[in-house]
Chain A
């Protein structure tokens, strides 16, 4: 019997020692978190999706028109009226080009002398009577030159074409030659042209009183688009909703232990000011599953969560002031199984 007892004891000690070594500590479960590539498509993107055409040319993204936003202009005259429309610079620039046309008459005297030299004999007669009716003298020239020089029709014809193209120039030309007859009448316009000052013309054209311009540079959207002034879809993005949800959930401590709590939904509406603080008390919109005795608890804790969330030092940090209109009036559904925006 002793042999059996000794061998049995040795056997057990050996087994226990082996277990103590080999089963020293159980292996913890390996919780492998698989990463999945996810494209996040927000609700607003999904709702704005349109059917597309595969071979359509690639549309270019709208280019920013204004790279740099100017400082607001200091009003020069505070007494003047405020005009709502911006000053139109294009008008000034458009006004500037007209001056060039007048100079041509001065620049093109050179071709004119040749024509006139050729057509000198006939011209003097028609010129005097028609200093103001400028286009009219030209046809007579052609007709007369044609008539005067039948043997050289080819040479003459191109020149009339030139005169026809430079229809305006010829008229000024005549005035110079027939100085003797109506000098004063013809010379009056040239004097004005010499004094030509684009700024003065612009001043003449813009008959409006000088007005202050409404400040636009720092408020106007710099994107060339037909969008809203804020340039954002009128909704919070999914990430902002998630952030809001997570933020409020921090402050929502719901005691465990209710039955059928997932059927209770408490909707609470609250209005935030631009400083992201509560304006007025949050209101209870509706309670689903109010028959559940636990609903009262859910409702009270949800109210407390909203109050608590709004009374932090930096409440609702995820709400950006640019989108104030989208989060001014928020209704949050509190459900014990998940918190919905």
Chain B
């Protein structure tokens, strides 16, 4: 083939806007949908990450402070009175739930304390489970984006390369200048998928371990509180 012809056809090829925005605008509709969805997923992932980081940090500080006051020798009655109106964190919720059950059973004049310990344990277990569930909420989104993001991006890439090959076949020209823009645009979809998935995976792992630690701590506290209450029951009984 005459090099002059090649040069001419290369010149004739659409002068592609190779900026990122240009790549997005030139892409096929499906690829655009994939890219847009991945961008939204990334926004959502980062919203969750920010939200959870703030939540876990605050919860950790509140639990430290509560444990400090709990073990400081302060009267449990006073503590309950100050917290019962609005239990603002998991450990306080457990404490309030247990104290409420205790008060109902004790102040209601129930003579049998045999079932009280079991009821306290159940109430605290339920509260712990509810609080852990609240901590874990939306972490599954991170897991889903982290695992599915690359595949979604890859789908966009495959689709984009498919359409660019179709246009190559239609234009009957194989020069790299014709092929390159379509492939660059297709690869951009995978790039966005990876951009969304990598932080999602990293922070999912981080948050799962944090939730486990917090859950352990809540369970530990509920066990200790249960031990204290059962000792009280035995003393009274």
A25 touches B50 (CB 8 A): no
Q: How far is the CA of A184 from the CA of B48 in the complex (A)?
A: 151
A20 at the interface (CB under 8 A from B): yes
**Residue total for A at the interface (Cβ-Cβ under 8 A):** 22
Q: How far is the CA of A5 from the CA of B52 in the complex (A)?
A: 11
Known contacts A19-B20, A23-B20, A25-B19; is-contact A4 B48 (Cβ 8 Å): yes
B18 touches A5 (CB 8 A): no
Known contacts A20-B20, A24-B19; is-contact A1 B46 (Cβ 8 Å): no
Q: How far is the CA of A46 from the CA of B179 in the complex (A)?
A: 46
Tell me the minimal C-beta distance from A96 to chain B in angstroms: 69
A4 touches B47 (CB 8 A): yes
Residues of chain A within 8 A (CB-CB) of B22 are: 25
B133 at the interface (CB under 8 A from A): no
Q: How far is the CA of A256 from the CA of B1 in the complex (A)?
A: 7
User: B20, B52, B54 — which one has the most chain A CB atoms within 10 A of its CB?
Assistant: B20
B47 touches A25 (CB 8 A): no
Residues of chain B within 8 A (CB-CB) of A7 are: 46-47, 50
A253 in complex: contacting residue of B1, B17, B52, CB < 8 Å:
B1
User: B37-45, B95-103, B153-161, B228-236: which lies at the A interface?
Assistant: B37-45
B47 in complex: contacting residue of A9, A24, A249, CB < 8 Å:
A9
A12 touches B1 (CB 8 A): no
B1 in complex: contacting residue of A3, A5, A254, CB < 8 Å:
A254
Q: Which of A6-57 contact B (CB under 8 A)?
A: 6-9, 11-12, 16, 19-20, 23-26
- A-contact 0/1 string along B9-26, CB 8 Å cutoff: 000000001111110000
B42 touches A26 (CB 8 A): no
B19 touches A8 (CB 8 A): no
A12 touches B42 (CB 8 A): yes
Tell me the minimal C-beta distance from A12 to chain B in angstroms: 5
B51 touches A1 (CB 8 A): yes
Residues of chain B within 8 A (CB-CB) of A11 are: 46
Residues of chain A within 8 A (CB-CB) of B50 are: 3-4, 7-8
Tell me the minimal C-beta distance from A244 to chain B in angstroms: 17
Q: Which of B34-81 contact A (CB under 8 A)?
A: 39, 42-52, 54
Q: How far is the CA of A253 from the CA of B21 in the complex (A)?
A: 40
B2 at the interface (CB under 8 A from A): yes
A250 at the interface (CB under 8 A from B): yes
Tell me the minimal C-beta distance from A221 to chain B in angstroms: 41
Interface of A is mostly: helix
Known contacts A253-B1, A254-B1, A256-B1; is-contact A8 B44 (Cβ 8 Å): yes
Residues of chain B within 8 A (CB-CB) of A19 are: 20
Residues of chain B within 8 A (CB-CB) of A24 are: 19
Residues of chain B within 8 A (CB-CB) of A5 are: 43-44, 47, 51
In the complex, residue of chain A having the shortest beta-carbon distance to the beta carbon of B45: A8
A12 touches B39 (CB 8 A): yes
In the complex, residue of chain B having the shortest beta-carbon distance to the beta carbon of A19: B20
Q: How far is the CA of A222 from the CA of B51 in the complex (A)?
A: 99
B1 touches A26 (CB 8 A): no
A1 touches B19 (CB 8 A): no
A20 in complex: contacting residue of B19, B39, B48, B49, CB < 8 Å:
B19
Q: Which of A214-258 contact B (CB under 8 A)?
A: 249-250, 253-254, 256
Q: How far is the CA of A28 from the CA of B50 in the complex (A)?
A: 38
Q: How far is the CA of A11 from the CA of B46 in the complex (A)?
A: 9
B54 touches A4 (CB 8 A): yes
Tell me the minimal C-beta distance from B101 to chain A in angstroms: 31
User: A11, A250, A254, A256 — which one has the most chain B CB atoms within 10 A of its CB?
Assistant: A11
Known contacts A1-B51, A3-B54; is-contact A250 B2 (Cβ 8 Å): yes
Residues of chain A within 8 A (CB-CB) of B46 are: 4, 7-8, 11-12
B51 touches A3 (CB 8 A): yes
Q: How far is the CA of A100 from the CA of B22 in the complex (A)?
A: 103
A9 touches B51 (CB 8 A): no
Q: How far is the CA of A9 from the CA of B43 in the complex (A)?
A: 6
Q: How far is the CA of A8 from the CA of B54 in the complex (A)?
A: 13
A25 touches B54 (CB 8 A): no
In the complex, residue of chain A having the shortest beta-carbon distance to the beta carbon of B46: A8
Tell me the minimal C-beta distance from B17 to chain A in angstroms: 7
User: A1, A23, A25, A249 — which one has the most chain B CB atoms within 10 A of its CB?
Assistant: A1
Residues of chain A within 8 A (CB-CB) of B42 are: 12
- For this complex, 8 residue pairs linking A to B, each with C-beta atoms less than 8 Å apart, are A3-B54, A4-B50, A5-B44, A6-B47, A8-B47, A12-B43, A12-B46, A25-B22
- Known A7-B50, A8-B47, A25-B19; further 7 A-B contacts with Cβ < 8 A: A1-B47, A3-B51, A5-B44, A9-B47, A11-B46, A25-B22, A253-B2
Q: Which residues of B contact A (CB under 8 A)?
A: 1-2, 17-22, 39, 42-52, 54
Q: Which residues of A contact B (CB under 8 A)?
A: 1, 3-9, 11-12, 16, 19-20, 23-26, 249-250, 253-254, 256
